[in-house]
């Protein structure tokens, strides 16, 4: 059966963006502005990827109701991994999405050039259509260079953070953004070491452990980290072997409207828990891939800009890929 990218939107910018993604991922593009009319394509099972404009609560509730009334929200025709919400307001403003049962991917429609944005995002869509969306190599261009980061014990975390910061500065990433990224790297590594370990029932094993406790990163506690650059985009990934990331809590965290005081706290105190939310707010994009009970890999992307102002305005997204 032919693969189809179904776009539910009347926005010409969305159409240009989706058209490029379709070309890059080998899918045909079907554009239907009315969510109710689009249900026929979903019901027949030909929509391998769904893009939907959810820029207002009305647009989202119309989409959710149409799905519920036709195939059902938990039908085998609906896979949150391949549903992509397109929105003009930022995630923090879309309070109606936080508890969505079909939330998989969020795209902020600050495309800039929608064709260029579509070419970049097509790597995420391609990953979402694969068996498992793991691995930094497939998310950068073919000539991207990837550097593994080795950690044997938890006390090497700060060395890893500093190594990534130096890598970013060498890649000519704005120094202010390099600091923001360093905080996010700190949070990702800390989460992989202390928050990810859980028993078979999902009970945290090290969550209450003091963060200065020495942990040997071996066996199931081993973590994988790497940083890459392809001349345009910088990316960092950290992976654990537990697969315990809670999707609902993640979305709540990223979509929370933090106060300026909380953001200031994060810039002064490493590991305060706002690194990811801050990086997303200031221009970063994320891919969270989790195979329950086996592996979680978190990757963030950012386009290199000489200007901090341009950096904050860049195209961005959050993608979550969950596998049972």
Give the count of alpha carbons within 13 A of 310, CB side only: 8
pLDDT tens digit sequence for 277-300: 878 888 899 999 999 999 999 999
Q: Which of 198, 195, 190, 189 is nearest to 225 (CA)?
A: 189
pLDDT above 70 as % of the chain = 94
Q: Which residues contact 236 (CB under 8 A, 6 or more apart)?
A: 164, 181, 184, 185, 188, 225, 226, 227, 228, 299, 300
**Regarding predicted confidence, which is higher, 254 or 131?**
131
Mean pLDDT of 230-251: 92
pLDDT tens digit sequence for 161-213: 999 999 988 888 888 888 888 888 998 999 999 999 999 888 999 989 999 99
pLDDT at 263 over 60: no
Domains of the chain in start order, with CATH, are 4-128 (3.40.50.2300), 137-323 (3.30.565.10)
Mean pLDDT of 29-51: 97
Phi, psi of 195 (to 5 degrees): -90, -30
Q: What is the pLDDT of residue 257?
A: 57
- Does the pTM of the predicted model rise above 0.85? yes
Beta bridge partners of 291: 295, 323
**Regarding predicted confidence, which is higher, 265 or 77?**
77
């Amino acid at each position: 059966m032919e693969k189809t990218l179904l776009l539910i939107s009347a926005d010409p910018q969305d159409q240009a963006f989706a058209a490029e993604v379709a070309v890059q991922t080998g899918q045909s593009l079907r554009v239907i502005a009315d969510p109710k009319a689009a249900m026929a394509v979903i019901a027949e099972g030909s929509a391998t990827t769904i893009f939907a404009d959810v820029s207002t609560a009305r647009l989202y509730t119309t989409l959710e109701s149409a799905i519920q009334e036709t195939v059902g929200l938990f039908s085998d025709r609906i896979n949150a991994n391949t549903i992509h919400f397109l929105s003009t307001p930022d995630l923090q403003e879309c309070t109606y999405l936080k508890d969505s049962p079909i939330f998989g991917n969020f795209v902020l429609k600050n495309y800039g050039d929608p064709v260029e944005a579509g070419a970049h995002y097509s790597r995420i869509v391609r990953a979402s259509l694969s068996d498992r969306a793991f691995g930094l190599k497939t998310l950068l261009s073919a000539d991207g260079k990837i550097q593994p980061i080795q950690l044997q014990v938890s006390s090497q975390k700060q060395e890893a953070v500093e190594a990534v910061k130096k890598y970013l500065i060498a890649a000519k990433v704005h120094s202010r953004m390099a600091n923001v990224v360093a905080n996010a790297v700190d949070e990702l590594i800390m989460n992989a070491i202390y928050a990810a370990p859980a028993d078979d029932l999902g009970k945290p094993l090290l969550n209450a452990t003091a963060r200065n406790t020495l942990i040997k990163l071996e066996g199931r506690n081993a973590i994988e980290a790497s940083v890459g650059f392809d001349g345009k985009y910088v990316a960092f990934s950290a992976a654990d072997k537990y697969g315990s990331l809670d999707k609902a809590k993640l979305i709540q965290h990223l979509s929370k409207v933090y106060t300026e005081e909380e953001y200031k706290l994060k810039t002064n105190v490493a590991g305060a828990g706002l690194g990811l939310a801050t990086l997303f707010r200031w221009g970063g994009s994320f891919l969270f891939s989790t195979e329950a009970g086996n592996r979680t890999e978190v990757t963030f992307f950012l386009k290199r800009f000489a200007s901090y102002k341009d950096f904050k305005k860049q195209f961005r997204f959050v993608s979550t890929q969950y596998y049972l």
